[in-house]
Structure 1
Amino acid sequence: MKITDVSVSTHRFDTVLPVVDRPGPSEVRVICTISTDTGLTGTGMTARFLPAAVAAAIQSHLGPAIVGLDPCRPAMVTGRLMPLVSERGIANGVNRAALSCIDLALWDITGKALGARVSDLFGGFADDAPAYVTCGFPNLDRDEQAALCKAMVGEGYGTIKMVVGHKDGLAEDVARIRAIRAAVGEGVGIAIDANEKFSYATALRLCQMLDGEPIAWFEDPVFNNDARDLGRLRAATGIAVGAGQMDGHARRFREFAEHDALDLYMPNSMYNGGMSETQRVAALANVNERPLSDAGGGGIYCLHHMTAFPGATLAEVHLGTLHLERQLFTEAPRVEGGRSALPDGPGFGVTLDADVLRGTLI
C-alpha cells in the first residue's frame, strides 16, 4: 500500500451547552486526510492554535514528503518527517500539531487495513473508559454552572471539571466551586483547571482558599506548566496536579518526572505528535507509576489511548468537543452512565460527515 495524496482543510464549529442552552467553546479543527492506492483513507486532526499555519505546513511541506510511502509503517513515515519539522532540538507548536494530524491519519489507515481498532493496535486494554466531564465554563453564572454540573452528575459522571481564573478573581472561583459542591453533593469529585494562567503564588493562594474542599486534581495551574513550580505546588498543597495536554511529548513528561511534578500524566494525541508519541508517554507513566488521563478536548482520539494502555484512569468528556463530534461524525460517540465507549469500527471507528465539512470550512 502506498500514500497517493495528503489533503488538509480547516473548519470552525459552534457549540451549545446542554441544560443552560448557552454557547459553548468555539471549536476549530484542522483535518488531514491521507489517501492510498488501495482506496483506503485515514483521518487525523488537530485544533486551536494557528490553524492556517498548521494546514500550510501539511499542505506544502509534510504531505508531499510522504507520498509514495507505506502508511502502515507509521514509524518509518515519522522518521521521514522529523528532519522537516525540526532540523535540531524538539519540534513544538505548529510543527508538532501538523505531525499529530499526519500520525493519527496513519494509524487510522493501519487500523482499517488490519481490521482493528487503533486502541487494539496499542494493547487493547479496555473497550470503554470511565469518564469525567468538563462542564464548568467562565461564561456561565454561578447558578447556571451549578445546574449544568448537577445535570451531568445525573447522567452518571462521578467527577466534573471547571475552569478557574475568573475575571472577578479568586474569591469568585471559590464561590463557584462551593456552589457546585452544594448542587452535586459530597460524593462527586470536582477538578479545577487554570489553563496555565496563574503564577505559583496565585495558584498556591487558591489552594489555601480551598482548604477543606476536596479537589480531585488541579490541572495546568501555573504559567507555562513550569516543572519546578508544579513540583513546589504539589508538595505544598497535597492536591493532585495534572498537566501535559498542549505540549505533552515524551521529553516534556521526562522533565515533569525529574521534578516529581505530576500526579496525572495528561497527554493529548491531537497536539503531542499523535498516538506514536502518546505510546512513549504511556510508557513513562507506567515506569513512574503515575496514572494516564487526558485533557484538552481530544475526544475520540484521546479515548483510544485511554483504552489502549494499562494504568489509564478517567477519560475526558468535554461538552464542547462532544457537541462538535456529534456534528462532525455520522455516528455520534457513545457516552452513557459516565462511561465513554470505543466505536466498533476499525481505525478510529468514525466517519466524517461530508455535508458538515462543506458547511464549516474556513
Structure 2
Amino acid sequence: MKIVKVEVSIHAFQNSIPLINKRLEDDYRIICQIETDDGHTGFGMASRFLWHGVAAIVEKHIGPAILGMDARDLEKIHARLQPILSERGSMTGINLSALSCVDLAIWDLLGKASGRTVAEMLGGAKDYADVYVTYGFAAFDIDQLIEMGRILIGKGHSRLKMLVGSKLGVLEDVRRVRAVRAALGDDIILAVDANESIGLEDAMRLCPYLEECNIAWFEDPFRRVDARDMGMMRKRTTIPLSAGQMDGHSLRFREWVEHDGLDIFMPNSMYNGGMTETRRVAYLSQIYNKPLSDAGGGGIWCLHHVAGFRNGTLAEMHLGTEQVEAQMFVDPPQQKDGRIDIPKAPGFGVTLNQDRLKETRVTP
C-alpha cells in the first residue's frame, strides 16, 4: 500500500450568518488527496489560516517525503516528517495544519482499505456523536440571539454555545448571556467561548456573572490560554474550562494538565497534526479521566474521535461549517434531535462534490 500520489488544492466557500443573512468572508479549505499503488484513495483537510502556506508545505515538503512509503506505517511516516517540519522543538502553526490534512487523508485511506470508519478504527465506542451548536455570534443583537436559539431548539437542539469577548465590554457580554439564559430556560445546556479574544483580567471579571447562569463550560477564555493562568483561573471559578481548538497537540494538553488548568479536552484534528495526534490527546484525556469533546468547526473530521473513544462527549456543529460541508460533500450527515450518526461508509464516510470543488478552487 505504497503512497504514489499526494495532491493538494485550495478552495474558497461562501457562507453567511443565518437569520440576518450577513455575508461573511470566504471560508478557505485546503484539501489533500492521497493515492496508493493498489488503488486506494483518501482525502483530508485543513482550514482557514494561511492557506497558500499550508498548501505549499504539503506540495513542496510533505508530499515528496512520503512518496513510496506504506500508508499503514503511521509512526514511520510521522518520524520521517518530524525533522522536516520542525528541525528543533515542537511543531506549531501552519506546519501542524499541513501535517493535519495529510494525516487525515491517510486515515481516510486506511479506513476505506479496511472497510471500517475512522470512529471504528479509533475504538468504536459509539456509532454517533451528540452535538452542541455554536450560534451566538457577535453580529446578533440580543433579540436575534434569542430568536436564533429558539429556531435551533425547534430543530431538536438542546446544547448551545455563545461567543463572548464583545467589543462593548464585559458587562455587555453579561447582558447577552443573561438574556439568552432567561429566554431559553434552564433546561438548555449553554456554554460560552471567548476565542482567546480577551485578556485574563476580563475573563476573570466575567466568571462570577456567568456562574449564576449555569454555564456548561468556558472555552478558550483568554488570549494564549497560558497553562499557569488557566490553572489559577480554574481554582477561582466553578465554570468548567476547556481549550485545544487551535494548538491542541499532546504537549500543549500535557501543560494544561500539569497546571491543573483544564476540565474538558477539545482537540481539533484540522490544526493539531491530524487524527494521529488527536489519538494521543484522547489517550491522555482517558489517563486523567477528563471528557473528550471538540471545538473549532472541525465538522466531519472531529465527529469521529468523539464517537470513537468511550470518554467522548460532544462534537461541535458550527453554523458556518455546516454551510461549507453542505457545499463540499455529497449528502453530508445531518443532525437529528441533537445527534449526528457516523456515516456508514468507510473512512470518514463522506464523498467530495467534485463539481463544486472545481467551482471553488483557488489558483495559487
**1:102 deviation in Å?**
0.7
Alignment of 1:124-143 (within 5 A): 124-143=124-143
Deviations 1:65-100 (Å, cap 9, x if unpaired)? Answer: 111111122222222111101112101101111111
Q: Which residue of 1 aligns with 2:239?
A: 239
Match of 1:91 in 2: 91
CA contact (8 A) 1:34 1:105 kept: yes
Q: Report matched runs for 1:305-344 at 5 Å.
A: 305-344=305-344
2: distance between equivalents of 1:314 and 1:23?
Answer: 28
Residues 319 and 24 (structure 1), Cα distance of their counterparts in 2 relative to 1, 3 Å cut: farther
Please tell me whether residue 219 in structure 1 is matched to residue 216 in structure 2: no
- Specify the alignment match of 1:10 in structure 2: 10
What pairs with 1:45-194 in structure 2 (closer than 5 Å)?
Answer: 45-194=45-194
Q: Is the 8 A contact 2:211 2:239 kept in 1?
A: no
Percent identity, please. 50
Q: Return the alpha-carbon distance in structure 2 between the equivalents of residues 88 and 7 of structure 1.
A: 27
Q: Specify the code of the residue in structure 2 equivalent to 1:187.
A: D
Name the counterpart of 2:196.
196
Q: Secondary structure at the match of 2:236?
A: helix
Contact 1:96 1:272 in 2 (8 A): yes
Answer yes or no: is 1:228 the counterpart of 2:228: yes
Give the C-alpha shift of residue 211 in structure 1: 4.2
Kindly state the Cα deviation for residue 333 of structure 1 after the two structures are TM-superposed.
1.6
* Cα distance between partner residues in 2 of 1:258 and 1:318: 30
Question: What are the equivalent positions in structure 2 for 1:289-308 lying under 5 Å apart?
Answer: 289-308=289-308
Deviation at 1:212, TM superposition (A): 1.5
Which segments of 5 or more consecutive residues in structure 2 lack a partner in the other structure? Answer: none
Report the 3-state secondary structure (helix = DSSP H, G, I; strand = E; otherwise coil) of the residue aligned with 2:89: coil
Q: Verify the 8 A CA contact 1:25 1:320 in the aligned structure 2.
A: no
TM-score, normalising length: structure 1: 0.97
Higher alpha-carbon deviation: 166-175 or 128-137: 166-175
TM (norm. structure 2) is 0.97
Deviation at 1:309, TM superposition (A): 0.6
Name whichever of 19-28 and 292-301 sits farther off: 19-28
SS at match of 2:317: strand
List structure 1 segments (4+ residues) > 6 angstroms apart after TM superposition.
none
- C-alpha distance in structure 2 between counterparts of 1:119 and 1:23, whole Å: 34
Contact kept? 1:24, 1:320, Cα under 8 Å: no
User: 1: CA distance between counterparts of 2:201 and 2:222?
Assistant: 9
The SS at the match of 1:96 is helix
CA distance, structure 2, for counterparts of residue 69 and residue 301 of structure 1 = 24
TM-aligned CA deviation for residue 260 of structure 1: 0.5
Report the 3-state secondary structure (helix = DSSP H, G, I; strand = E; otherwise coil) of the residue aligned with 1:130: strand
Deviations 1:11-70 (A, max 9, x none): 111113444434467421111111222222110111122111010000001101111111
Gap runs ≥5 in structure 1: none
**What letter corresponds to residue 300 of structure 2 in structure 1?**
I
RMSD between aligned residues: 1.3
**Amino acid corresponding to residue 223 of structure 2 in structure 1:** F
Q: Secondary structure at the match of 2:310?
A: coil
The separation in 2 between residues aligned to 1:181 and 1:250, in whole angstroms, is 34
The AA in structure 2 aligned to 1:192 is V
AA at the equivalent of 1:126: K
Which secondary structure state, in structure 1, belongs to the residue aligned with residue 183 of structure 2? helix
Q: Deviations over 1:115-140 (max 9, x none)?
A: 11011111011000111110111112
Q: Hey, what's the Cα distance between the residues in 1 that align with 2:124 and 2:25?
A: 32
Task: Determine the C-alpha separation between the residues in 2 that align with 1:85 and 1:211.
Answer: 42
**Cα pair 1:292 1:306 within 8 Å, conserved:** yes
CA 1:50–1:14: 2 relative to 1, 3 Å: same
Contact 1:33–1:41 (Cα < 8 Å) also in 2: yes
CA contact (8 A) 1:74 1:107 kept: no
Aligned residues between the structures:
362
Whether contact under 8 Å (1:325, 1:333) holds in the other structure is no
The answer (yes or no) to whether the contact 2:135–2:319 under 8 Å persists in 1 is yes
Give 3-state SS (helix, strand or coil) of 2:29's partner.
strand
